[in-house]
């Protein structure tokens, strides 16, 4: 069995020797450098621009402004293109924009012989603005009389939708009736999450050149095939005349599930005669001008019966979209859907979701796609309900959890397998829940301890909300090994390793005999939409399995031709064997040599398959956290923390564990320290750098514990389900609920920073 083994990463050797090449490592030197002029207002218009002094600076090749770019707008999110116009992504930006929608918007660009010259040229450009007050919150943006950011959306509301699940026969007419029924416990709460950034260590970087009349962009992206399409759309050129190369990337976490600066880089290249141009973002630009996780505010209600069952819930979510649509309404829509799914409502559920344009840096996809936000709201609510109505928070969750076989009434996603209850049991035992809940009751004094938990569910891929498809190609080498070619991408998560294991498993050869082509070149890589939605082990896994089995059949057919003997054949290890006796008949190296060079029947054995995935499934898990809080200082120390996951069968347990560590770490930053902050007067991002934005260091971490409950999901190619994003989801709420346990103070806004805690402790009478 190759699947299920903790084989070392296939890229580890190259990465520890510094030999793994990332986008900028491949760039020829010297190279023309592009730099972008960012607006010094958050809201308004560029009235005019004087570029004469910049253009005259020696070493400057070209200065281009928002007055020079193509007039049409294009979309940027990493979604599969929809052939139905109504479902296409929002096209709301140009390559450079006259209408300024965020502080630091892209309004001009310089191409120069070196970076310093380009930077100096930017400083010589004179800009005249028409300035409006910055609108940083949805309330400000929706106020009467404000100027719309995009003329297509006069009230600054990108989209609002309301949904209710069908109700069983009863006297109640709608969710509102159940929620206000006096016979049930009635709960309402308000929770808010903050804007955070991915902080992948490699900033987005790309370089572009024209060759053979076509444009090539080498870029740090999660989604090469989508970048190809969007570069074509943005430049108004046929998609086939664009070639994207994606080498190793230094993390993405969803930020690079967006077409960021590849279109501008490509266009600038075409404006300087097709010469190679590099566009290398600074860390500050990464914060200000690329994506982030949406701040979302939630108003929730619940009705709970006397036995502690959820009768109905309502979730109203308002998402702050910043200046550009990016993924549009999809993320808050996913948030309210995720809020609905983890627990079952016996009677009714109402969702209302808003996406509102404002002038903050535009959020987009980030690990969890709305679910970390809704999980904070949902799991705070579960603890608050338990406290208010005297329920046990563990039991209350346990008895309301999504049952096996659950079918979401609105999108049809089905619970094909669940280890949710086992996850809860395992986490409870690991953290010693019952003892700690007892021991930490009724503490006094300035330093107190508490233990909290949170549960999540997460779908796998995007079907049926969007297309799910993947293709894989297996190619025989002369020595009997194979190459695996995919459009799916390695972004640090270990994709290449588990893809190799899957191919090996399907074919029947050792993993080390699968040579994966890590770099995607859209000219040769089979089509796949890329790394997002924790989809690749599931969706791409199906394609790999299909191509692997097809390849195996072709190898066996050729073996039968060579061997001319009766009986079933099989591939084991590096041999074709008699299936019944296991007797070795022909090595794969011998077979390959024959197939490549036979004077009688020469054939290059390859297999290619597309798997369109029309299925989805839920993974589950939970976090248990034990904390100590120093009340006068407002500081939380996490003493012990564990995540328990049901991601179906693990393809590589060691890598799965590492993936959980990383997610927990991101969850801890979300819980305790990370937040993008703005100057309300100017709309300028105040902490867009790695010093002032408090990314957790090794010193800020406790030991991270990752446990698993393995289920065998019938819809997964190898029994597996989503794993990449889920670990980041439940941590913040678990820490917050531990704080509630320790102090009795409910802090409903993230992050749980010292300032916020002191304020809350004062209000709660602890200080």
Q: Does 250 sit near other proteins (CB under 8 A)?
A: yes
Q: Take residue 627 and report the two structure tokens written for it.
A: 């904390």
Tell the smallest beta-carbon distance from residue 187 to other proteins (Å): 34
Report residue 246 as tokens.
């994606």
Judged by CB under 8 A, the residue of 701, 745, 759, 767 near other proteins is 701
Please state, as a whole number, how many other Cβ atoms lie within 10 Å of the Cβ of residue 685. 26
Q: Considering only residues 133, 155, 251, 754, which one is a binding residue for other proteins as defined by CB under 8 A?
A: 251
Site membership for other proteins, residue 203 (CB under 8 A): yes
CB of 695 to other proteins, least distance (A): 6
Region near other proteins per CB under 8 A, out of 96-104, 128-136, 434-442, 656-664: 656-664
Window contacting other proteins (CB under 8 A); options: 5-13, 339-347, 513-521, 613-621: 5-13
Binding residue for other proteins, selected from 144, 699, 755, 765, defined by CB under 8 A: 699
- Told to check if 763 binds other proteins by CB under 8 A, we report no
| Binding window for other proteins (CB under 8 A); candidates: 160-168, 340-348, 623-631, 692-700 | 692-700
Note whether 672 and 696 are within 8 A (CB): yes
Enter the DSSP assignment of 644.
E
Out of 20, 344, 517, 586, which residue is the one contacting other proteins (CB under 8 A)?
A: 20
**Cα 753 from Cα 762, distance rounded (Å):** 14
The residue among 20 and 316 lying less far from other proteins, judged by its C-beta, is: 20
Pairing verdict, β 635-646 and 705-708:
parallel
Show the tokens assigned to 197.
């950034």
Helices (H), 440-512: 495-507
For residue 713, state whether it binds other proteins (rule: CB under 8 A): no
Work out whether 690 is an interface residue with other proteins (CB under 8 A).
yes
Q: Which is nearer to other proteins, 255 or 320 (CB)?
A: 255
Decide if residue 222 touches other proteins (CB under 8 A).
Answer: no
Task: Let me know: does 368 contact 533? Beta carbons within 8 Å.
Answer: no
Rank residues 6 and 388 by Cβ distance to other proteins and give the closer one: 6
Task: Please state the separation of Cα 32 from the chain's center in Å.
Answer: 32
- The reply to whether 21 sits near other proteins by the rule CB under 8 A is yes
Is residue 156 within 8 A of residue 106, CB to CB? The reply is: no
> At CB < 8 A and 24+ separation, what contacts does 135-138 make?
135/43, 135/358, 135/359, 136/358, 136/359, 136/360, 136/678, 136/680, 136/683, 137/320, 137/358, 138/297, 138/318, 138/319, 138/320, 138/354, 138/356, 138/358
Cβ closest to other proteins, residue 4 vs residue 764:
4
Coil, helix or strand at residue 439: helix
CB burial readout 95-131, b (16+ within 10 A) else e: bbbbbbbbbbbbbbbbbbeeeebbebbbebbebebee
Closest to other proteins by CB, 58 vs 442, is: 58
Q: Which member of 33, 89, 92, 202 binds other proteins (CB under 8 A)?
A: 202
Give the nearest distance from C-beta 696 to other proteins in angstroms.
8
| Residue 674 beta carbon to other proteins: minimum distance, rounded to whole angstroms | 11
User: Given the complex with other proteins, which of 353 and 655 has the nearer CB atom?
Assistant: 655
Residue 25 in contact with other proteins, rule: CB under 8 A: yes
**What's the CA gap between 380 and 369, in Å, rounded?**
19
Strands in 619-630's sheet, in edge-to-edge order, are 447-458, 619-630, 635-646, 705-708
657 binds other proteins (CB under 8 A): yes
Token digits of residue 632: 């006068």
What is the torsional sign of CA 756, 758, 761, 765?
A: negative
Residue whose entry in the numeric block shows the structure tokens 């903790």: 6
Is the Cα torsion angle 287, 288, 294, 299 positive or negative in sign? positive
Check residue 160 for interaction with other proteins (CB under 8 A).
no
Note the Cα 442 to chain centre separation in Å. 40
In Å, how far from its chain's centre is CA 552?
A: 34
Number of residues that bind other proteins (CB under 8 A): 56
Residue 650 burial (10 A CB sphere; 0-12, 13-18, 19+): buried
Query: Is the CB of 86 or the CB of 691 nearer to other proteins?
Result: 691
Q: Is residue 661 close enough to count as binding other proteins by CB under 8 A?
A: yes
* Nearest CB to other proteins, comparing residues 311 and 656: 656
Given the DSSP bridges, would you call strands 348-357 and 157-164 parallel, antiparallel or unpaired? antiparallel
Of 13 and 67, nearer to other proteins (C-beta) is 13
Using CB under 8 A as the binding rule, whether residue 200 contacts other proteins is answered as yes
Per CB under 8 A, the list member of 662, 683, 724, 726 interacting with other proteins is: 662
Q: With binding defined as CB under 8 A, does residue 218 bind other proteins? A: no
Pick the closer one to other proteins by CB: 115 or 210.
115
Q: How far is CA 545 from CA 411, 472, 473, 716, in A?
A: 27, 9, 10, 11
Q: For other proteins, which is the closer residue by CB, 185 or 661?
A: 661
- The nearer residue to other proteins, 175 or 731, going by C-beta atoms, is 731
533/526 Cα distance (integer angstroms) = 19
Omega before 30 cis (within 30°)? yes
> How many of the other CB atoms lie within 10 Å of CB of 265?
26
Q: Is 17 in the site for other proteins (CB under 8 A)?
A: yes
13 is a site residue for other proteins (CB under 8 A):
yes
Helix ranges, 523-601 (H): 541-563, 588-597
| Binders in 474-493 for other proteins, by CB under 8 A | 491-493
Please report whether residue 655 would count as binding other proteins according to CB under 8 A. Answer: yes
Examine residue 120 and tell whether it contacts other proteins (CB under 8 A): no
Stretch that binds other proteins, among 94-102, 576-584, 664-672, 745-753 (CB under 8 A): 664-672
CB 659 to other proteins: min, Å: 8
**697 sits near other proteins (criterion: CB under 8 A):** yes
What's the min distance (Å) between Cβ of 289 and other proteins? 15
State the binding string over 313-342 for other proteins (x if CB under 8 A, else -).
Answer: ------------------------------
What is the nearest approach in angstroms of other proteins to the Cβ of residue 8? 6
Residues 258-297 that bind other proteins (CB under 8 A): 282-283
Contact between 689 and 502 under an 8 Å Cβ cutoff? The reply is: no
Select the residue interacting with other proteins from 37, 230, 666, 707 (CB under 8 A): 666
Asked if 501 touches other proteins (CB under 8 A), the answer is no
- In the list 4, 579, 689, 754, the residue contacting other proteins (rule: CB under 8 A) is 689
Interacting residue ranges for other proteins, rule: CB under 8 A: 6, 8-9, 11-22, 24-25, 29, 198-203, 248-251, 253, 282-283, 491-494, 654-655, 657-659, 661-662, 664-666, 668, 689-691, 695, 697-699, 701, 703-704
């Amino acid at each position: 069995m190759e699947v299920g083994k903790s084989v070392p990463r296939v890229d580890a050797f190259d990465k520890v020797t510094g030999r793994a090449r990332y986008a900028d490592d491949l760039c020829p030197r010297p190279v023309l450098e592009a730099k972008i002029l960012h607006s010094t207002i958050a809201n308004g218009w560029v009235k005019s621009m004087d570029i004469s002094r910049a253009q005259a600076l020696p070493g400057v090749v070209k200065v281009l402004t928002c007055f020079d770019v193509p007039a049409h707008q294009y979309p940027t999110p990493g979604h599969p293109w929809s052939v139905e116009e109504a479902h296409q992504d929002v096209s709301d930006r140009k390559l450079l924009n006259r209408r300024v929608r965020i502080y630091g918007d892209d309004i001009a660009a310089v191409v120069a012989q070196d970076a310093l010259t380009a930077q100096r040229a930017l400083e010589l450009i004179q800009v005249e603005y028409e300035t409006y007050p910055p609108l940083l919150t949805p309330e400000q943006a929706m106020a009467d009389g404000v100027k719309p950011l995009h003329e297509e959306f006069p009230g600054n509301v990108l989209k609002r939708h309301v949904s209710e699940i069908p109700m069983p026969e009863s006297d109640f007419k709608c969710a509102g009736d159940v929620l206000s029924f006096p016979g049930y416990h009635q709960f309402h709460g308000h929770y808010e999450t903050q804007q955070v950034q991915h902080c992948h260590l490699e900033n987005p970087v790309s370089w572009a050149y024209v060759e053979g009349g076509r444009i090539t962009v080498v870029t740090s992206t999660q989604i090469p095939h989508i970048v190809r399409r969007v570069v074509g759309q943005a430049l108004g050129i046929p998609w086939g005349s664009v070639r994207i190369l994606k080498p190793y990337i230094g993390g993405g976490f969803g930020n690079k599930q967006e077409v960021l600066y590849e279109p501008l880089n490509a266009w600038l290249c075409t404006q300087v005669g097709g010469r190679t141009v590099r566009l290398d973002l600074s860390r500050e630009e990464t914060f200000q001008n690329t994506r982030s996780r949406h701040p979302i505010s939630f108003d929730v209600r619940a009705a709970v019966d006397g036995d502690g069952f959820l009768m109905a819930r309502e979730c109203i979510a308002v998402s702050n979209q910043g200046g550009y649509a990016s993924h549009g309404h999809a993320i808050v829509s996913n948030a309210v859907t995720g809020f609905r799914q983890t627990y079952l409502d016996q009677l009714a559920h109402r969702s209302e979701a808003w996406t509102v344009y404002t002038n903050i840096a535009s959020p987009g996809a980030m690990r969890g796609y709305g679910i970390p936000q809704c999980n904070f709201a949902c799991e705070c609510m579960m603890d608050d309900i338990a406290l208010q109505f005297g329920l046990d928070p563990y039991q209350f969750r346990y008895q309301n959890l999504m049952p096996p076989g659950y079918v979401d009434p609105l999108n049809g996603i089905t619970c094909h397998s669940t280890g949710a209850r086992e996850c809860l049991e395992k986490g409870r035992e690991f953290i010693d829940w019952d003892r700690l809940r007892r021991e930490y009751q009724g503490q006094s004094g300035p330093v107190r301890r508490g233990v909290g938990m949170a549960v999540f569910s997460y779908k796998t891929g995007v079907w049926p909300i969007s297309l799910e498809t993947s293709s894989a190609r297996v190619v025989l080498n002369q020595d009997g090994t194979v190459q695996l070619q995919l459009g799916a991408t390695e972004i640090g998560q270990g994709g290449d390793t588990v893809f190799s294991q899957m191919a090996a498993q399907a074919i029947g050869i050792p993993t080390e005999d699968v040579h994966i082509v890590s770099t995607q070149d859209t000219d040769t890589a089979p089509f796949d939409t890329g790394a997002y939605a924790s989809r690749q082990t599931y969706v791409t896994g199906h394609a790999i399995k299909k191509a692997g089995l097809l390849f195996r059949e072709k190898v066996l057919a050729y073996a039968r031709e060579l061997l001319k003997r009766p009986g079933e054949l099989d591939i084991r290890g590096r041999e074709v064997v008699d299936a019944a006796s296991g007797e070795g008949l022909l090595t794969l190296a011998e077979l390959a040599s024959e197939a490549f060079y036979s004077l009688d029947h020469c054939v290059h054995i390859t297999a290619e398959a597309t798997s369109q995935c029309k299925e989805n499934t839920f993974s589950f898990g939970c976090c248990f956290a034990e904390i100590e809080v120093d009340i006068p200082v407002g500081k939380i120390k996490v003493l012990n923390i564990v995540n328990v996951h049901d991601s179906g069968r693990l393809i590589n347990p060691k890598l799965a564990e590492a993936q959980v560590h990383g997610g927990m770490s991101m969850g801890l930053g979300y819980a305790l320290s990370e937040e993008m902050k703005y100057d309300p007067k100017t709309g300028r991002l105040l902490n867009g750098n790695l010093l002032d934005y408090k990314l957790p260091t090794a010193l800020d971490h406790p030991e991270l514990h990752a446990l698993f409950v393995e289920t065998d999901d019938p819809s997964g190619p190898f029994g597996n389900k989503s794993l990449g994003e889920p670990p980041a989801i439940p941590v913040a709420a678990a820490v917050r609920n531990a704080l509630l346990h320790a102090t009795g103070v409910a802090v409903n806004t993230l992050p749980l920073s010292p300032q916020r805690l002191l304020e809350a402790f004062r209000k709660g009478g602890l200080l």
